[in-house]
Amino acid sequence: MYLEAGLLTRRSVRQFEKGHKIAENDMKDILKIAMYAPSACNKQPWEFVVIEDEAMKNKIAEIHPYAQFVKDASAAIVVCGNEQEQCDNGFWIVDTSAAIENLLLALHGKGMGGCWCAIYPYAERMKAFQNLLGLPEHVKPNALIVAGYPIKQPTQPQDRFREDKIHYERW
Ligand X SMILES: Cc1cc2nc3c(=O)[nH]c(=O)nc-3n(C[C@H](O)[C@H](O)[C@H](O)COP(=O)(O)O)c2cc1C
Q: Which is nearer to ligand X, 5 or 25 (CB)?
A: 5
How many residues in the chain?
A: 171
Q: What's the closest the beta carbon of residue 40 comes to ligand X, in angstroms?
A: 19
Q: Which is nearer to ligand X, 25 or 77 (CB)?
A: 77
**How many angstroms separate the Cα of 52 from the Cα of each of 18, 58, 75, 109, 112?**
12, 10, 5, 21, 15
Q: What's the closest the beta carbon of residue 129 comes to ligand X, in angstroms?
A: 13
- Per CB under 6 A, residues contacting ligand X are 11-12, 14, 66-67, 115-118
- Looking at the chain, the number of H-run helices and the number of E-run strands are 5, 4
Q: Which is nearer to ligand X, 33 or 117 (CB)?
A: 117
149, amino acid identity: Y
Q: What's the closest the beta carbon of residue 68 comes to ligand X, in angstroms?
A: 9
- Determine the Cα–Cα distance for residues 101 and 89; give it in Å rounded to an integer: 21
Q: What's the closest the beta carbon of residue 54 comes to ligand X, in angstroms?
A: 20
Q: Which is nearer to ligand X, 36 or 66 (CB)?
A: 66
- Cα 75 from chain centre: 11
